[in-house]
Amino acid sequence: MGGFHLYNQLIHMKPVYMHGENAYIVVAQKSISCFAKTISEPPNMEHVNMYMKWLKCDHVLSNQTHFMFCETIQNATIIEEDNLNTIN
């Protein structure tokens, strides 16, 4: 049963994208044209923002053709062993 769980996790892995000093998990990508009424109009950014929230993402990156809806990977905080609460 453990092997299936690991396989299930592997097929659902999402790519990590580095942008400057920040790392993001790419949850979804959509063509910019999906958010525009016509090919010649700019995308409706209100719809982009609503889609981002629907996906439970916190950031949107874009290139010339696509929006990437992402979750920010927070920097790790080192916790000193002396500050850990332990249950005995």
Report yes or no on 87 lying in a domain. Answer: no
This prediction's pTM: 0.71
For residue 23, what are the domain limits?
A: 13-75
Q: Measured between alpha carbons, how far is 21 from 23 in angstroms, rounded to an integer?
A: 7
Report yes or no on 37 lying in a domain. Answer: yes
Label residue 1 by pLDDT band (50, 70, 90). Answer: very low
Report yes or no on 48 lying in a domain. Answer: yes
The predicted pLDDT at position 87 comes to 60
17: burial class by Cβ within 10 Å (0-12, 13-18, 19+)? middle
Report yes or no on 84 lying in a domain. Answer: no
As a whole-number percent, the residues of the chain with pLDDT over 90 amount to 51
Contact call for residues 69 and 57 (beta carbons, < 8 A): yes
Residues 41-72 have pLDDT tens digits of 999 999 999 999 999 999 999 999 999 999 99
Report yes or no on 65 lying in a domain. Answer: yes
The predicted pLDDT at position 18 comes to 87
Report yes or no on 56 lying in a domain. Answer: yes
Which of 33, 6, 27, 29 minimizes the C-alpha distance to 15?
A: 27
* pLDDT for 11 beyond 60: no
Contact call for residues 26 and 16 (beta carbons, < 8 A): yes
Report yes or no on 17 lying in a domain. Answer: yes
In the chain, the number of structural domains is 1
